[in-house]
Structures are given as C-alpha cells and as structure tokens.
Chains A and B, each alone.
Chain A
Amino acid sequence: MTDKKSNDLEDLGNLPGFKRGNPTYFENEVIDHLISITLELGAELWVVKDRLAHVEEILSEENKLSLSSLNTGKPSALLQEQLDKERKQIIKRIYGRLYSKYGGESAEEKSAI
C-alpha cells in the first residue's frame, strides 16, 4: 500500500519551478534574466528572418506587397520547409554551444518523448 511517508512532498519545496512568481535558478538572478533575454532575442531575430523570407517570396512572385498577406498569410510549403531547416540549424548553432563541451553535438536525435 502507498507509504504515506513516501508521499511527503516537502522535500520538493526548494525546486525553483515550484516557487511562486518568477523562479530563479541561480544565486544571482541577473544570470536568470540574461539567459531569458538571450532566448527572447533569438526568438525575435527568427521572427524577423521569417518575415523577411516571406516578404522576398511575395515580392518575387507577385511583385506587390500587402500588410495583410504578411500578417495573416502563410509562406509557400516549399519556403516553409526551407525555413524549418534553417531555424533548426540556427538554434543548434547558437544554443547548442552551451553543451558542446559536454558532447552537445551528439545529442540524441530520436524523440525524447
């Protein structure tokens, strides 16, 4: 039967993720913020690259641009495929280096689920 003692979860209170508000993982929370800033910059850089590629595709094919087609339209399947590939490479290049010293290049490719 379930051991009541083994269900005592008090030992988990110190895990950062279980703390209310913005959890911090480092003693100096500035490091937490800097990491989050770096990720946000990467995401916004990708948004701009994605939009530029979309603009280029529309202009090269239709020679006219509308904001609505940029904001709510989608790139062609071919461009989407190229973007997916490029995005994965960029992410691996920028963030993969965090773990390259520890064998990051050999991260398992199979699904982690």
Chain B
Amino acid sequence: MAINKAIYKRGKTAGVFPSLSSRRDEAYMNFVEDARNLLLHAQQKPIGEYSKLLLKNAGKSMEPDPRSTTEAKELLMKDNVLKTYYRIKRTLQESFWECTYDSLNMRKNDLLQALDDAEKIGPGSVTYDPDFSIPEYATAEIHIQPGGNANEPLSGLLYDYGSKVFMGGAADNDMFADMQASTVGAPQDGKVNRILDLGCSAGVTSSALKRIYPDAEVWGIDVSSHMVRYAHARALEQNHDINFKQMLAEELDFNDNHFDIVVANLLFHEVPVSVSKKILSETLRVLRPGGSFTLIDFPGDKTRDVYTIFFGEMDAADNGEPFLPGFVRSNVEEIMEESGFEMSPYDPNKFLLAGRIGFKPNN
C-alpha cells in the first residue's frame, strides 16, 4: 500500500510540520509566531527587569518563601504593563489554536483517512484500543488545545503545528527534540537495545532517539490513541521504524527489566504528582539493572527567585497547565531517589530543561 500524502498536501513547513490548509492560515500563524517570539524574548529583559524593579521599589524580597512570594505576586498582578504582557500572551495562544483547528478541520476527513491508511503500513507500528479508559486527569485541555490530547481525533496534528508556534521556531526541523535527545543518559555499560519514550505525544522525541540509536528497538507510548496514530504517520514520513502504543505510563504493559533507556520528555508536568510516583515505580520496574531513566522537565521552584516563580505560574495558567505548578513544587529529584533510582548530578542552571538522570541499581 502506498503512503497517503493527504497530510502533506501543501508540503511541509520548517522542515517537518505539515503545512496548513491555505496560504492565508500560514500567513496568520507566521504573524502569531513572531508576535509570540517578541514576548518570549522580552521575558527576561525588559519584562523581567521591569518586574524585579517593581519588587525592589516596593521593598519586596526576591528570596522565595510562602509569604514573600504571595506578596510579590499580588503586587505584580496589579501592574498594567504586566497585565498587558500576559493578556497579549493569552490572546496569541487562543488565536493560534483557533487558526490551526479551523485550518485542519477544513480537511478533516482526508486527514483522518490518511491516518487510517498509515496504520496499515510500516516501518514501525501503531496499536490502540477504541475502548481504552482515559483517566480523568488526561482529559484536561492542556495548553488550551481544543479538545485536549485525548478527545480530539486531530490532536496529534494540532499539537505538532501548535508546538511549532508555541516554541517560536525552536522546534523547527525537530532541532529542539534532537538537542534534548542528545542529553539523554546512556546506561552504565553503554549497551542500548531497547528504548521507551513515555508520553510520546506526536512522537517527536521517539524519532530523535531513533536517530541517535538507529539499531535500537524504540517504543513510544501515550494515553491518547489520536496522538499515537499521528506519531506513527509522522515517523513513517521520516522512515523511522518505531512502535507506538496507547498505554498509561503508570500502567506499563512491558516485562520487568525490559528497557535499556526510558525517557519522559515534558510528561511529568502534565500529570498529578500522585501519578508521577506511580510512573516512577513502573519505570524502575521495566528498566534493566544499570539502565537509565531521563526525566526532562522544568526545574523546581527551590532553584528559582520570586519573579521566576511568578512568571512560571502565570505561564502555567495562560498555557492551560493544571499540573505544572504542582510539579515544580514537588521536588521530583527527591521523589526519584526515594523511588529507588541512583541519581546523577542535576543542574538546571546550565540548561532550563536539563534532564534529571537516574539509573536502576545493579544489585
């Protein structure tokens, strides 16, 4: 069976992203991406410096503790410059989802047919269950993406293009995923035969891992059938042999000691802390002794000043991240250690999204 190219009817944008349905939509999204970029670049300077000046002039401490953080947040929330900044950010986020959703829905039947057709061909595979029970936490419209990841049939395509705009070009040509995958820890003995990507969404990290370890068997799992369907089609387009399966990261359907490497790229801030603990326990079970687990996510609040905490919480709210604040307050490094991982040093000052790397003990 030949590949159904309906997803790429208008070609690709920025290397890998399926172009939107019309030039009009593409131009609109280009505008939104650049306007968002202006905000992202202003995050530290001038907005960050301006915010810190406001706090300093009001005699507020930058050291995080519950009282000073609450007072600082109240002060910053009253400022009209900052209100304007966050209003613009939210409006742009709403705009890019609306445009992407409408653009893809114009071709909905063709796109879903292409995903159906892709299921039947390899390399790689996709497996899902139409009767899969989705936990309530996973039905949230994270990122304020219409329908969320689990309930919208086009969620994989939506997420892929949306993340391009959200990342302001950093995700173009899969650059960001390749860079993150390059930081994934190798097992202590260096032997890599099987890799698992937890919460793989559109499969971008799974593909990046396949490029680093082309001979390894790579699995990507996600709670959403719509995500793994698109992830397979995307990997197919890149000619990557990857197996995608609908599965909960907290209930892994793999044998004990099965994987050499497990990766969770930006999964943990999308789940409640109680679920994180179950995921860590399952990860340890499926890793072989000496195998590595890399948890890529945001740094915890204990390493941040008051302004950065405020910015992070506003960002979480504007980006529809109900579980992000809980994650950054949870001290996941400590939870990993308590779960049984032997931890490597972790330094988010070198790179915001540095991985926390843990190994399954050999004994």
Interface, chain A (partner B; CB < 8 A): 1-2, 6-7, 9, 11-12, 14-18, 23, 25-26, 31-32, 35-36, 39-40, 42-44, 46-47, 50-51, 54, 70-75, 83-84, 87-88, 91-92, 95-96, 98-99, 102-104, 106-113
Contact A102 B330, beta carbon cutoff 8 Å = no
CA–CA, A112 to B45, complex, Å? 10
Of the residues A17, A25, A95, contact of B38 by C-beta under 8 Å = A95
Contact A91 B334, beta carbon cutoff 8 Å = no
Q: B166 — nearest CB in chain A belongs to which residue?
A: A113
Contact B10 A72, beta carbon cutoff 8 Å = yes
> Which of B83-91, B200-208, B222-230, B250-258 is the contact stretch?
B83-91
Contact B317 A17, beta carbon cutoff 8 Å = yes
Given A25-B84, A39-B95, A103-B46, 10 new contacts (CB under 8 A): A1-B338, A6-B330, A25-B83, A39-B92, A42-B35, A74-B23, A92-B38, A104-B42, A108-B41, A112-B168
Binding site secondary structure of chain B:
helix
Contact B27 A47, beta carbon cutoff 8 Å = yes
Of the residues B11, B21, B47, B91, contact of A39 by C-beta under 8 Å = B91
CA–CA, A109 to B168, complex, Å? 12
Q: Could you jot down 8 A-B contacts, CB within 8 Å?
A: A7-B330, A39-B35, A44-B28, A51-B23, A84-B30, A87-B30, A95-B38, A98-B88
Chain B residues with CB under 8 Å of A73's CB are 23
Chain B residues with CB under 8 Å of A91's CB are 31, 34-35, 38
Known A12-B313, A71-B22; judge A35-B87 contact (CB<8 A): yes
Contact A107 B176, beta carbon cutoff 8 Å = no
CA–CA, A22 to B10, complex, Å? 33
Considering the complex, which residues of chain B in the window 153-185 have a beta carbon less than 8 Å from any beta carbon of chain A? Answer: 167-168, 170, 176
